[in-house]
Chains A and B, each alone.
Chain A
Amino acid sequence: GEDVEQSLFLSVREGDSSVINCTYTDSSSTYLYWYKQEPGAGLQLLTYIFSNMDMKQDQRLTVLLNKKDKHLSLRIADTQTGDSAIYFCAVPYTSGTYKYIFGTGTRLKVLA
């Protein structure tokens, strides 16, 4: 079945760039998503990328997709303390009905 993997922790200094990585196994996904979860809160859609794109930029966020290697990354420029959260990569999976398979989540800690 589908599997989505992420590293568990990332710590950066305020003002630096953060790069969160995700690898997945199913290559049929047409959109891939990044969600943010702040402590005690729900899942907030951060950004997404269409599978025929290599890169998408949205203000401080840059999503890179390497479809050949099945590797997705999220770069946050000028990371702020408010960016401290868990970031989930979500890959739609179409075996049976359409559902999301989530990665383990990467806990980003921003140090002042």
Chain B
Amino acid sequence: EPEVTQTPSHQVTQMGQEVILRCVPISNHLYFYWYRQILGQKVEFLVSFYNNEISEKSEIFDDQFSVERPDGSNFTLKIRSTKLEDSAMYFCASSAVAGPYNEQFFGPGTRLTVL
């Protein structure tokens, strides 16, 4: 069964460093998403991406964040200069189309720890 994969499973970084979180969406999907879950809190929407551009971003997704689809398979989230409060689990998701009749498939997540 096709699945969304994410690497690494756990990333530890120093405050101020750049990190890149990687995702491989399901191959025929066209819409891609990042969500974040700070420990003990809700899963929050960060950004959606379609046709090589951001469709929507939340208030959390400030200038320190960027997303890219560098090739036909990867979808990345970059945090330019990490802060302590960026420590969270980051989930990638993909869907075949956007809309209420299509499910978003989630990856296993990358746990980011900023020291």
Residues of A within 8 A of B (CB): 29-31, 33, 35, 41-43, 45, 48, 88, 90, 92, 94, 96-105
Contacts and interface: CB of A to CB of B under 8 A. Distances in A.
- Most chain B beta-carbon neighbours within 10 Å: one of A42, A88, A102, A103: A42
B52 to A, nearest CB: 15
Contact of B42 (A31, A33, A94, A102): A102
Nearest to A43: B106
A28 to B, nearest CB: 8
A96 B107 contact: no
B104 to A, nearest CB: 6
Interface residues of B, number: 26
25 contacts: A29-B100, A30-B100, A31-B100, A31-B103, A35-B106, A41-B108, A41-B109, A42-B106, A42-B109, A43-B91, A45-B103, A45-B105, A45-B106, A92-B100, A98-B31, A98-B100, A99-B56, A100-B45, A100-B93, A100-B104, A102-B42, A102-B43, A102-B44, A105-B42, A105-B43
Contact of A42 (B95, B99, B108): B108
Interface of chain B, main secondary structure: strand
Contact of B100 (A35, A94, A101): A94
B103 A48 contact: yes
Contacts of A103: 42
Given A42-B91, A88-B43, A103-B42, A98 B108 contact: no
